[in-house]
Amino acid sequence: MKQFQVPTNYRSSLISAVKNKRKQEDKLKKDFTPTLLDFGNLQIYLARHFGFCYGVENAIEIAFRTIDENPGKKIYLLSEMIHNPQVNKDLKERGVQFLQDTYGKQLIPFEDINKEDIVLIPAFGTTLKIEEMLHKKGAGTDKFNTTCPFVEKVWNRGEQIARKGYSIIVHGKPKHEETRATFSHAASMAPTVVVNDMDETIELAKYITGEKNEEQFYTEFEGKYSQNFNVKKDLLKIGVINQTTQLATDTQAIADYLKMVMIKKFNLDAKSVSNHFADTRDTLCYATNDNQSAVSGMLNTPADLALVIGGYNSSNTSHLVELCEQKLPTYFIESAAKIISKSELIDCNWKTKEIKTVQHYLPQTTPVKILITSGASCPDALVEEVIRKIASFYNAEEKIEEMEKIFSVN
C-alpha cells in the first residue's frame, strides 16, 4: 500500500515499530489479538489495528502539500479535513480557512471565493451541488479533492446498482458530511432514502410490506429521501450502501434484514433474490472493518478499563467506544491532556457528547491492565502521548524507549 508523506509530528516511533512488527508477523491480517506493552505494574494492550487509515493519510498529504506549494494564495477547506481537532488546528495555523462547519453551516460566504483561490474538499467528500458551484468558480476541485477513495468506491457502487434499476438505501447519520455527500451522489442517479439505524430500517420495511400507509413515509422520513421519491414503486428493488465510518456489523445487519423482507414479500429463492435486492457487501470500508475487528479481538483480553483516543465528533471513533463499553469501563478522550492525574480524567459521552470529570478511573489492583485504541483520524503521536502519561504514573516512562528498540528488532 502507498506510503504517504504526513507531518512527522503526527508519527510515533514507538507505534510505528509496533505496527511494523505486527505487520511482518501477520501479513494476512488474521490475528486480531492486541499487542502487550508490559511495564510491570502497568500493562497496556494496543489494538491490532488503529489510527490513521489510507483515506486520512491521503487527505493530510494533499492538504499540507497544497499549503507548501502555494505560498501567498488563499486556501480554504470546505469543512473539517478530518474529525481530529489537532489536525484541523494545525491547518488553521498554516493559514487555511474553513468555509463551513461540520454540519454544513456557512462560516465564510461562497461569494468570497474567486478563481485565484484554492478550495480543498475534505476526506468525507461533498455534495454534487457544492462541487459544481466550486467548479464554476474555478476553485481547482479536481486537483485539491481529498475525498477518501473508499468513499468514492461507495459512490461508484451506488451508481452501478442504480443503472440496474435499484433504488438506494444509505445507512448513515443524516447530518454527517459523508452521508450528505453520499446521499447527493446516490440521489442524482436513483431514488434514495437514508436510514440511521436498525430501528429506522424496521420502520422503512413496513412500507415495503404494506404495514404502514405510504403517506406516513413522507412525514416519518422527512429530509431523508430524494426528490419525487415514490413509496409504491421505489421500494420494490433496493440495494444498501453506507457511510463508511458506521459499524460494519450494523450495515450488514441492516442489509440482511431488508434482504429477508424482500424474500418474504416477493417469495424469492436464492436465484431470484437479485431481482429485488442488490448485494453490496463490497462497500464496507477495510479500515473501519479492521479497526472494529481489532477492538473485538482486544476485548477478549481481561482488563480493568479501555481508553479510546480521537475527536469527539469522529463517527468511527465513537463506534469503537460503543464496542468497548459493552465489555468494560471505557473512557473517550481527545488527547493526553484529558488525563489530569492518576485519579482524575475528563471523559466524553460518545452518544450525547457530554463532557464530565471522572474520579478514580484507575483501579488499585496490580498490575493495572488497560486496553487502548484510537480512531482512523487520530495521529499515532497522540496515542504515544497517552501511553507516556499513564506510564509516568507508575514511574515507567523510561521503559518506552526500551520497548521501541525491542519492537524494532527484525
Separation CA 209–CA 230 (nearest Å): 15
Residue 408: phi, psi to the nearest 5?
Answer: -80, -15
Q: Which strand (E) or helix (H) includes residue 64?
A: helix 54-69
Residue corresponding to grid cell 469501563? 329
Rg (CA), the chain: 23
Residue 395 CA to residue 39 CA, distance in Å, equals 9
Q: Tell me how far apart the alpha carbons of residues 314 and 229 are, in angstroms, rounded to a whole number.
A: 31
* DSSP β-bridge partners for residue 242: 171
Q: Which residues contact 379 (CB under 8 A, 6 or more apart)?
A: 9, 10, 11, 12, 51, 52, 84, 86, 87
Cell readout for 394 is 507508575
Cα 404 to chain centroid distance, Å, stands at 28
Catalytic member of 57, 80, 178, 384: 178
Three cell numbers, residue 136:
464554476
C-alpha distance from residue 21 to each of 38, 167, 365, 373, 402 (Å): 16, 45, 30, 17, 15
- Peptide bond before residue 367 is cis, with ω within 30 degrees of 0: yes
Strand partners for 171: 195, 242
The verdict on whether 178 is a catalytic residue reads: yes
How far are the Cα atoms of 65, 162, 345 from residue 381, in angstroms, in the given order? 20, 42, 19
Residue 133 near residue 145 (C-beta atoms within 8 A): no
Dist CA 389 CA 362 (whole Å): 13
Nearest to 283 by CA among 340, 335, 244: 244
Region for 363 from its dihedrals, namely left if φ exceeds 0, alpha if ψ lies in -120 to 50, beta otherwise: beta
**Distance of alpha carbon 298 from alpha carbon 1, whole angstroms:** 25
In this structure, are residues 142 and 170 in contact, taking their beta carbons and an 8 Å threshold? no
Assign 263 to helix, strand or coil: helix
Q: Which residues are catalytic?
A: 178
